[in-house]
Chain A
Amino acid sequence: MPKQIYLDYAATTPIDEEVLEAMMPYLKKDFGNPSSLHHFGQITRVAIDQTRKKAARFLNCSESEIVFCGSATEANSLAIFGVVKALQKKIKKPFHIITTKIEHHAVLHPFEELEKQGVEVSFVAPNKIGIVETKEIKKAIKDNTVFISVMYANNEIGTVQPIEEIGKLISQINKNRKQKIYFHTDAVQAVNYLDCDVQKLKVDLLTLSAHKIYGPKGVGALFIKKGTPIEPIIYGGGHEFGLRSGTENVAGIVGLGKAIELVEKHKGDTERIKNLRDKIIEEVLKIPNAKLNGSRENRLPNNVNVSISGVEGESLVIALDQEGIAVSTGSACSSHELKPSHVLLAIGLSPKSTHGSLRITLGRFTTEDEIDYFLKVLPKVVKRLREISPF
């Protein structure tokens, strides 16, 4: 029986034991509805507020600026549709919004939807190494620009975007404007490794997810700076300051709180993960006709993304899976829509190179032994598939 090696931490992370432990009471005896007045409800209300405190401390904001959602996708939708809706009511004139070509679909598709609805949208292209440069954002800004969303770190190629720099630029521009520009960042992939101090980043909205930081699935959170115009996109009982109705996922939210706490505790692990990443990059590039996608330096410490010519990504993923290794690809075959990765196309890869792309993402539980095993197996699998391939 081969080993089981998980190298797909950007897709999701396993729940940390401590997180699960923290959640358990709220799946069992402490089941009360946080909106109930009796002590069952009080217990869960307090639990939610404790997570809110932890999130606020982590992001360096106030507790009333945190809204819990059912996922990071939902948090992104709330940020984008919610702010645009509020601004439409306020401004009454056509306005312009900006995002990038390498966003996660949870940001890209809401912007495309708004474009369909008649809002003017600019999709800013990254450079060849997958960085959206601040000067490109600056160029895209118009007199009537009111909202900008740029992801903190890319989920496919791991490139880190200059959020602090863009934040500074926008706050500079805002000084001379009557109608300010609101700035959102999807920080889902960044939380484990990068500074998420919203004061430093100068963002008005920031999205995070629990299941990318060793917490449970089904919980996201949105930081909304006080004073940001925003309308709910879900209506009901008025939970979460009226911005996200629906009885709170108490256990999930508690799990998120614990997960955030653990991120701080594990900050020291980053160097170890980075060294493993560098080892992979060095070794994988020894395979003939293998290329690194995205910046070599400016990338998350846990992300490797390579294109290997002559092999198709899904075949590669399944062949590695048969050897007990779990990784991911941007190949068309692997997607629901049979479309190759928009991120890889945006950084100038040919469709052929996108089909042969492989994403390896490391995490808290990755060991050097696992990486050595992966590096032993990969060249063999590539060789086998190349033997079958016509080119």
Chain B
Amino acid sequence: MNKKQFTLYSKKVLEHFQNPRNYGKMKNPDGVGKVGNIVCGDVMYLYVKIGKKKNGKEYIKDIKFQTYGCLAAIASSSILTEMVKEKTIEEAIKINRSQIVKRLGGLPPIKMHCSILATDALFEAIYDYLSKNKKPIPKFLKERHKQIEKEKKEIEKRYKEWIKLEEKLSKNEKEK
């Protein structure tokens, strides 16, 4: 490929797409975040294992992702895992999409939502860990969780026909 001709995506995006970090399913994760919707074409699963540092703070000991989506979605998930691995929970939830976009060397405007999907998957995974273990959940995470749930419902409402169709057809496919 002639590198000069390809300008829509940065080198970094293409590199992460070609060699994604920390992908695959995790066995016995402490928390899982699942965001996106197959009908829209992007689904992201994020798994975390939580450890404790010497000072008693909890941190992301291991992290893995599985993504079905475009290369911006895959690159965003990959770089996110790199950015938050070994970080304390406190630090990790401060991550925002503009940090991801910056680290990726930019994303085309139409692909910005992919970076949000990545941070949301992380927030949901940490929320899952904290709530499963009955630990205090920071206000920001609670609010974001509520928002994500709300958006999920909105998407389901917006794409109701398609989701019904998807379910019907995949059932048919299985029956075959």
> Hey, which bits of chain A sit against chain B, CB under 8 A?
1-2, 4, 310-312, 314-315, 318-319, 321-324, 331-334, 336, 338, 340, 348-353, 355, 387-391
Contacts and interface: CB of A to CB of B under 8 A. Distances in A.
B105 to A, nearest CB: 16
Given A4-B1, A352-B39, A318 B17 contact: yes
B20 interface: yes
Given A312-B41, A332-B41, A387 B170 contact: no
A315 B43 CA distance: 13
A52 to B, nearest CB: 37
Given A322-B14, A322-B18, 8 more contacts: A315-B71, A319-B18, A336-B110, A350-B165, A351-B39, A387-B23, A389-B68, A390-B67
A389 B45 CA distance: 9
B88 interface: no
Contacts, number: 90
B36 to A, nearest CB: 10
B165 A351 contact: yes
Contacts of B48: none
Contacts of B173: 350
B70 interface: yes
Given A331-B41, A387-B23, A388-B23, A314 B68 contact: no
Task: Tell me which of B25, B45, B162 has the highest count of chain A C-beta atoms within 10 A of its own C-beta.
Answer: B162
B101 to A, nearest CB: 17
Contact of B74 (A321, A323, A334, A388): A388
B166 interface: yes
Report, nearest first, the 6 A-B pairs whose CB atoms are least far apart: A390-B66, A350-B169, A333-B70, A314-B70, A389-B68, A355-B41
Chain B interface: which size bin?
A: 35 or more
The secondary structure that dominates the B interface is mixed
Contacts of A332: 40-41
A340 B66 contact: no
Contact of A390 (B9, B43, B162, B169): B43
Contacts of A324: 1
The secondary structure that dominates the A interface is loop
Contacts of B83: none
Contacts of B43: 390-391
A315 B166 CA distance: 21
Contacts of A340: 41
A312 B1 CA distance: 21
A377 to B, nearest CB: 12
A322 B1 contact: yes
B38 interface: yes
Nearest to B169: A350
Contacts of B6: 321
B138 interface: no
Interface string B140-176: 0000000000000000000100100110011001000
Given A332-B41, A352-B39, A312 B166 contact: no
Task: Tell me which of B1, B41, B173 has the highest count of chain A C-beta atoms within 10 A of its own C-beta.
Answer: B41
Nearest to B166: A350
B41 A319 contact: no
Interface in B43-68: 43-45, 66-68
B29 interface: no
A331 B23 CA distance: 23
Contact of B71 (A314, A352, A387, A390): A314
Contact of B41 (A4, A323, A333, A388): A333
A4 B2 CA distance: 9
Contacts of A390: 25, 43-45, 66-68
Given A321-B1, A352-B38, A387 B70 contact: no
Nearest to B20: A388
A193 to B, nearest CB: 30
Interface in B13-34: 14, 17-18, 20, 23-25
A233 B36 CA distance: 44
Interface in B93-126: 110
B40 A388 contact: no
13 contacts: A312-B73, A318-B14, A324-B1, A331-B70, A333-B69, A338-B40, A351-B38, A351-B41, A351-B162, A352-B170, A387-B24, A389-B66, A391-B68
Contact of B68 (A312, A322, A348, A350): A312
B123 to A, nearest CB: 18
Contacts of B45: 390
A387 B25 CA distance: 9
A128 to B, nearest CB: 12
Nearest to A331: B41
A352 B166 contact: yes
B166 A351 contact: yes
B17 A315 contact: yes
B67 A338 contact: no
A322 to B, nearest CB: 6
Contacts of B23: 387-388
